[in-house]
Amino acid sequence: MDFDFGVEGIEDLEKALADLDVKVRVTAMRKALHAAGVPVREAVIERAPTKDEVGGKLPVGAMKADVRLRVIQADGQLMAVVDFGPMTYYVARWVEYGHRLVRGGYSSIKRGKLRGQGHQVGDVPAHPFIRPGFEASTQASFEAFVEQLRVELGKKD
């Protein structure tokens, strides 16, 4: 799931960043992106469902505990990524969008046909928590980004 939003009116910050050494600029941006990701991560954790004691292989609270925040560089751009660790990355998508409930093995849909010995016994409805968490924290995320950038630029004076 990708989210993107533009920022207008920060020409002064852009100019100040352009005047910095590349290493200092990258460090400042990494810190600001991390600060921006914290409110998003907290909002997703707050909304993540807590598994009950019945069924499944994940421990109780695994979804909330496995939300992570990383600042990565991809295609020459730095970005903050809020995602799930290896224990729950596949489950988060099922919870967010819903899924079929299959018993007796596996069942997959290939080219419009069901395959496998399992049979569908129901549907698990979607429980969106990632997108609502992002949408609820957008303003706080932006404010944290700008504030951290100002702090970093203030250090360099």
pLDDT at 3 over 60: no
Kindly provide the residue ranges of all beta strands, DSSP E only, lying in 1-157, ordered along the sequence: 67-74, 77-84, 99-103, 108-110, 113-115, 119-124
Please write the tens of the pLDDT for every residue from 64-117: 999 999 999 988 889 999 999 999 998 999 999 998 888 887 777 777 677 778
Residue pair 68/85 in contact by the 8 Å Cβ criterion: yes
Coil vs helix vs strand at 126: coil
Q: What is the pLDDT of residue 47?
A: 96
Range 122-143 average pLDDT: 94
Q: CA-CA distance, 25 to 143, in Å (whole number)?
A: 19
For the question of whether the overall pTM of this predicted structure is more than 0.75, the answer is: yes
Q: How many CB atoms lie within 10 A of CB 119?
A: 11
Tokens standing for residue 121? 């016994």
